[in-house]
Chain A
Amino acid sequence: MSAAQGENVLDIRGLHIALDGLADAGLVKGLDLTIRPGETHCLVGESGSGKSLTALATMGLLAPVLKCTQGQILLNGEDVLTVSPRRLRRLRATAMSMIFQEPMTALNPVARVGRQIEEVLENHSNLSPRQRKGRVMEMMEAVHLPDIERMYRSYPHQLSGGQRQRIMIAMALIMKPKLLIADEPTTALDVTTQAQILSLVQELREKQGTAVLFITHDMGVVAEIADRVTVLKLGEVMESHPTEQLLRHPRTDYTRDLLQSVPSHVPRPPRPDSGTPEVLRVDGLNKVYVEGGWFTKGRETHAAKDVAFSLKKGRTVGIVGESGSGKSTVARCVMRLIDPTSGRIEIGGTDIATLKPAALKPHRRKFQIVFQDPMRSLNPRIEVGESIIEGPLNFGVSRKAALARARELMQLVGLPASAVDRFPHQFSGGQRQRIAIARALAMEPEVLVADEAVSALDVSVQAQVLRLLAELQDRLGLGILFITHDLGVAAQICDDVIVMKLGEVVEYGPAGRVLASPRHAYTKALIEAAPGRHWDFANFRPFAEETPNAGPHGAAGSAH
């Protein structure tokens, strides 16, 4: 082993991963990657880039149908692809550790979390039970868990997502491994929790000198924590550079596009309010869920409390908030997919909040919705054309006219007219989301509710769909109610923003005002927690270097 090799904690050389027996169709193709001690190396890519496979291959945790067909993965100079299973098990937790995306499911639900951490010590050390417990307590302290005596005895379901991820980190780092692999560890978490976990990882990395291989799709996270970045596309390395260099001077078109697709956190300049009529007005909207108890009074959950806002023709109102904020509840009430407990929902002047199904039906066509999950929002068994014309047929449009219109709509959303004859599985996620938009538009609605409609999409596709929505709004004068957890997206497309927390509206006002100079502490906390908010990705520079009045350029904003 040469000295040069010894310097790198991890040295992946020419790694190929393929489905067993399909070596030609590689999922990872000739990947090279090196990580030095104490370094944070971000592996970035969109879905299908092979970033998670690389991580799992390093740990030796690839599903049995996947095989590493070529290359080496040298961990402190030792090729983990060729060591014995026994040796591999020894290396895990002691030389390399991994934390995962879903803290909710990554812990054994029937074992106490303290015991789950201790299990690592049982396996890899000769400490006495007393010493082990002491080490676990120290480690739980080090990841800043509160009330560790109680935490030690808790079961996973009693902890929040952030606390579970801290337990995972404690488990991963208790043997002080040289390498920590973090596979999208904050993607499932709310933005404020994400910020805390990111800073915890950084803190422990400095304290223990651990190198971190951090896998993410989020350029904001990259800007926040990475020393070095490798960009991956469909299993191939596009480029690999120190962070600052990559963000300022991307070499490949792919990276440049990726960066330009990232919505900026600086709100776009306000659009003039041309005094268009109001299409949606919500007043005093409440939704209370009562969990029935047999003996006690049912526990009440106020999912939405006194929500009020209005939306004008051709404008966009955004509702932002973390999980459990009630933003989707509001959307579903407006759509009358659930019945509000009280309040008014006026669409074109009619209060639809309490209309019975039969009376509601004639109003249905005025408000339509696009959902989050492109895989489930179209019936897989019927041609997309049939899905699109279902609504118009319900309102007495002739089949022929409706189909002709569906073909037009396909072109409007950027798909060929012939797409109406195909089935949902023949389209990508972004295309399906376009079809879902076409389905909504077929009803010629005045209000379009977009419930996290771009959250499940890759950032480049997200930018395209946002651009499409903006175009359609200009052309058709749609009023859009946009539900999102992403402040960057909200900053780029909303005229007004509502910030919700635990069912209550904490702030409501023009996007430029709310997001640039928030008044409420919670809004401020949300904005400060957003990773990479100081970086103007689209212009390849930090915001501090920006001239005061230059227009923002984010992809979504550029449509205007």
Chain B
Amino acid sequence: MLGYVVQRILATIPVMGFVALIVFLLLRLSGDPAAMLAGDAATPEVIARIRENLGLNDPLYVQFFRWIGEMLRGDFGTSLLSGTPVTTMILQRMEPTISLALTTIFLSVIIAVPLGVLAAWKQGTLIDRFVMLLSVIGFSVPVFVIGYMMIAFFAIELRWFPVQGFRPIGQGIEPFLSRITLPTLTLTLLYVALIARITRTSMLEILNDDYIRTARAKGLPEGKVLLRHALRNCSVPIITVIGIGFALIISGVVVTETVFNLPGLGRLTVDAVLARDYPVIQAVILLSSLVYVVVNLLIDIAYVFLDPRIRYQ
């Protein structure tokens, strides 16, 4: 078991290494960073001096490892736009993003898992078709369209919620909730689609397994068969997809924050895109990939508690 955990932790290192390599290559293949830094009006001499200062004349692999070294020390450079260290900017913008991600995951799981179980149990019925259609819709409508529809209906038409903005939870639950609800609902539709679909597929597969027949042969009532035997075996695929779906959430957060004007990492990214502020973009990509990898690592470790076959390897 310890061996398994250690092995999982070590396995994340090459993945992060490749993430870094991909980001590094994207940056270097995109043109001369010195010219980008210097701006359009710079003379060749200025650019050459910047090149020298940044060590851009060293071999590429030397630059790569120096760059990785800087990242590992938490030095993501300074923003081209504001001149502040990127690390500081990111720390300032964390709260809305984390709030939105957590509320979305929480809400999605409590909605999607029962829906998926229900759809699988009632396979082929209207309930099943409804859940499946809902899930295809979730995959098909752009997040920002959902967001604007929410605003048009709940904020402008019904005036239940403010149109945009964010209040930290420290300033009171009610203002926080009133502003986070619409973004959360928007993103939840997307995530529910993913989780409900996987829950249904896994449940259908598991309901065909031999031990379900055994449970029925024991004379167990259907509820116990479903919850005690099927759903427990379903937990591994479900939390796996929650982990994989984390990438989807991060992408969705960027869009949702833009729609609802939340001052989070997503907005930071979009602003950086418009200003071509590449140190910020690079930092956000590396950070979000790290979050993805760590979340999936935690999920791998959670298997230990869900599946005895891993625990007693």
Contacts and interface: CB of A to CB of B under 8 A. Distances in A.
B213 A100 contact: yes
Given A100-B210, A110-B308, A93 B218 contact: yes
Contacts of B211: 105-109
A89 B10 CA distance: 49
- Interface residue tally on A, bucketed by range: 20 to 34
A456 interface: no
Contacts, number: 78
A462 interface: no
A98 B215 CA distance: 11
Interface string A115-146: 00001100110000000000000000000000
- In the complex, which of the residues A109, A158, A171 has the most CB atoms of chain B within 10 Å of its own CB atom? A109
A216 B220 CA distance: 27
Given A106-B211, A109-B309, A93 B219 contact: yes
B201 interface: no
Contacts of A59: 217
A157 B309 CA distance: 7
Interface in A145-186: 155, 157-158, 168, 171-172
A163 to B, nearest CB: 15
B85 to A, nearest CB: 38
Nearest to A181: B217
A155 B309 contact: yes
B121 to A, nearest CB: 12
Nearest to A293: B3
B209 interface: yes
Given A108-B229, A109-B233, A155-B309, A100 B214 contact: yes
Contact of B306 (A106, A110, A293): A110
A363 interface: no
Nearest to A168: B214
A120 B209 CA distance: 19
Contacts of A155: 308-309, 312
Contacts of A100: 210, 213-214
Contacts of A171: 214, 218
Contacts of B3: 293, 295
Interface string B73-94: 0000000000000000000000
Contacts of A92: 216-219
Interface in A85-111: 89-94, 97-98, 100, 102, 105-111
A108 B3 CA distance: 25
Contacts of B218: 92-93, 119-120, 123, 171
Given A61-B213, A158-B312, A294-B10, A89 B220 contact: yes
A124 B210 CA distance: 22
B165 to A, nearest CB: 46
B37 to A, nearest CB: 43
Interface string B220-243: 110010001100110000000000
A111 B232 contact: yes
Contacts of B312: 155, 157-158
Nearest to B312: A158
Residue among B220, B221, B228 having the largest count of chain A Cβ atoms under 10 Å: B220
B13 to A, nearest CB: 12
B217 A97 contact: yes
Nearest to B220: A123
Nearest to B232: A110
A158 B308 CA distance: 9
B125 interface: no
Interface of A: 59, 61, 89-94, 97-98, 100, 102, 105-111, 119-120, 123-124, 155, 157-158, 168, 171-172, 293-295
15 contacts: A92-B217, A92-B218, A93-B217, A93-B218, A105-B209, A105-B210, A106-B210, A106-B211, A107-B214, A108-B232, A110-B232, A123-B224, A157-B312, A171-B214, A294-B7
Interface of B: 3, 6-7, 10, 209-211, 213-221, 224, 228-229, 232-233, 306-309, 312
